[in-house]
Amino acid sequence: MSETVSLIPCADYDPKLVSAALKESLDLLGGLERFVQPGQRVLLKVNLLMAADPEKAITTHPAVVEAMVRMVQALGAHPVIGDSPGAVPYTPGGLRRAYRVSGLQDVAARTGAELNFDTTVVSVSNPDGVLIKRFEVIRPAVEADVLISMPKLKTHMFTWFTGATKNLFGVVPGVAKVGYHGKLPTLDRFAEMLLDLIVAVRPALHVMDGVLAMEGDGPGLRGRPRHAGVLLASSNAAALDAVACDLIGLDPMRLELLQAAVRRGWWSGRVEDIEVLGAQREDISLPGFKLPSSMAKNPRAFDRLGVVSERMAEWLIGRTRYSFTPRPEPQAHICTGCKLCVNACPQQAITIRNRHAVIDDKNCIRCYCCHELCPEAAVDIRFSPLGRAFRRIGLIGRS
């Protein structure tokens, strides 16, 4: 698998700047015509987590989507914009609202691109999967001749980073995503599932919107927009994510997803081995990029407690994880009792009492789906006293 990534500066979402940067990034990979042929149906699988204004940096920006639409159309192919959002019902009405608020409805109106409203599901055999041998996915992901993934550069409370490898989880329909969190509550197994999903739907190309990125406790409303000023592209999801992580100061090999990708031979595990075309990593400066507060796997910090064995450190982390990792805590003065978090919780750990969400901490697996999907940003993240102590010694925290 090719370890080539194009990295192009793009100062803002001015349509001319975006179009030029996107064209340059794809030309460096051999041109869009390497991936798309005339007459083909092309699914542009955007990140449409929720119905959110583009300036919140939650969804793929419409300017980037529009530039891609026009490039696909110029090749005589038929672009379809789609996703299965996690925070809105996977129904025609839910999709319509998400498209409207995110600016994608306007993209379709200006360009004539098709918006997907087909909410039927298709079963896909995945004999080459390591963990999952069959997936239920949205129909447009199967019926497209070409799938182009268009992720957003964001932090993520559960996987710590979400980009090309995580974006394809959106082809799993609606609340079916909840089942995977419930069956695969640990990061290592969840990562293998995400890579199996890439094997199943076979995206041809990944184009990442990093012009306005997200830092902090992403990927939803609790994250913070952060100007990064880049577009990235690659046919290799793992290599693209590794370069993006490196840009924001996150060691790619701290991610279970990218560790699993190394085991599969998708990349070497060394950012230095990736061929970066266009700008170089050292040309892009993003000092102080805030990482999620849930990052809790730093065995070296146990050295400060006199623990020298990394294996022992990993064992201690595993045994005490739920004691010190941050827990989601709904804020009653913000919560509207909409029940979206109730339906999204894989452990059924959330109930509505007195019109407000309440979480049973004993059943919470720290997947942070409630935090990610809450349309009111009502779910805060709180540390226990032990968690606060571990933050002070650097075992957990934002770096």
Q: What is the count of structural domains for the chain? A: 2
Res 396 pLDDT > 80: no
Strand partners, 226: 213
Are residue 38 and residue 164 in the same domain, yes or no?
A: yes
Span between the terminal Cα atoms of the chain, in Å: 30
Do the domain assignments include residue 238?
Answer: yes
Are residue 360 and residue 274 in the same domain, yes or no?
A: no
Q: What percent of the chain has pLDDT over 70?
A: 89
Label residue 308 by pLDDT band (50, 70, 90).
very low
Burial of 164 by CB count in 10 Å (0-12 exposed, 13-18 middle, 19+ buried)?
A: buried
Are residue 247 and residue 145 in the same domain, yes or no?
A: yes
Are residue 245 and residue 356 in the same domain, yes or no?
A: no
In the predicted model, what is the mean pLDDT of residues 298-322?
52
Do the domain assignments include residue 398?
Answer: no
In the predicted model, what is the mean pLDDT of residues 376-394?
75
Are residue 305 and residue 265 in the same domain, yes or no?
A: no
Residue 304, both tokens: 């400060």
Are residue 241 and residue 138 in the same domain, yes or no?
A: yes
| Cα–Cα distance for residue pair 208/375, rounded to 1 Å | 24
In the predicted model, what is the mean pLDDT of residues 161-175?
96
All residues at 6 or more sequence positions from 383 whose CB lies less than 8 Å from its CB, including other chains: 293, 324, 326, 327, 391
Per mean pLDDT, which range of 72-76, 127-131, 304-308 is the poorest?
304-308
For 12, other C-beta atoms within 10 Å of its C-beta total 11
pLDDT tens-digit profile of 234-290? 999 999 999 999 999 999 999 999 999 999 999 999 999 999 999 988 899 999 999
**CATH at residue 329:** 3.30.70.20
Do the domain assignments include residue 290?
Answer: no
For 115, other C-beta atoms within 10 Å of its C-beta total 17
Per the structure, the complete domain to which residue 70 belongs is given by 4-283
Burial of 182 by CB count in 10 Å (0-12 exposed, 13-18 middle, 19+ buried)?
A: middle
Do the domain assignments include residue 108?
Answer: yes
Mean pLDDT estimate for the chain: 92
Are residue 14 and residue 136 in the same domain, yes or no?
A: yes
Are residue 140 and residue 251 in the same domain, yes or no?
A: yes
Last residue of a domain, one of 249, 283, 317: 283
Are residue 29 and residue 145 in the same domain, yes or no?
A: yes
Are residue 73 and residue 138 in the same domain, yes or no?
A: yes
**CATH at residue 76:** 3.40.50.11440
Are residue 100 and residue 239 in the same domain, yes or no?
A: yes
Q: Are 194 and 267 in contact (CB under 8 A)?
A: no
Are residue 56 and residue 167 in the same domain, yes or no?
A: yes
pLDDT tens-digit profile of 88-123? 889 999 999 999 999 999 999 999 999 999 999 999
What pLDDT score does 88 carry? 87
| Cα–Cα distance for residue pair 296/101, rounded to 1 Å | 34
Q: Are 175 and 344 in contact (CB under 8 A)?
A: yes
Label residue 326 by pLDDT band (50, 70, 90).
confident
Give buried/exposed letters for 61-82 (b at 16+ CB in 10 A, else e). Answer: bbbbbbbbbbbbeebebbbbbb
Label residue 297 by pLDDT band (50, 70, 90).
very low
Last residue of a domain, one of 220, 252, 283: 283
Res 302 pLDDT > 80: no
